[in-house]
Amino acid sequence: MVYYGCSYNETTSVAIENKNILVKKHFNGSMKRPCIIMRDTILFGKLNEGNYLVTLKIIDINPFANDSIFSTETKTLTVRN
> pLDDT of 36-48, one tens digit each?
999 999 999 999 9
Q: Are 80 and 49 in contact (CB under 8 A)?
A: yes
pLDDT surpassing 80 at residue 3: yes
Burial class (CB in 10 A: 0-12, 13-18, 19+), 9: buried
For residue range 10-61, list pLDDT tens digits in order. 989 999 999 999 999 999 888 888 889 999 999 999 999 999 999 999 999 8
pTM of the model: 0.85
Predicted local confidence at residue 68, as pLDDT? 86
Domain that holds residue 11: 2-79
The total number of structural domains that make up the chain: 1
Q: Is 31 strand, coil or helix?
A: helix
pLDDT surpassing 90 at residue 63: no
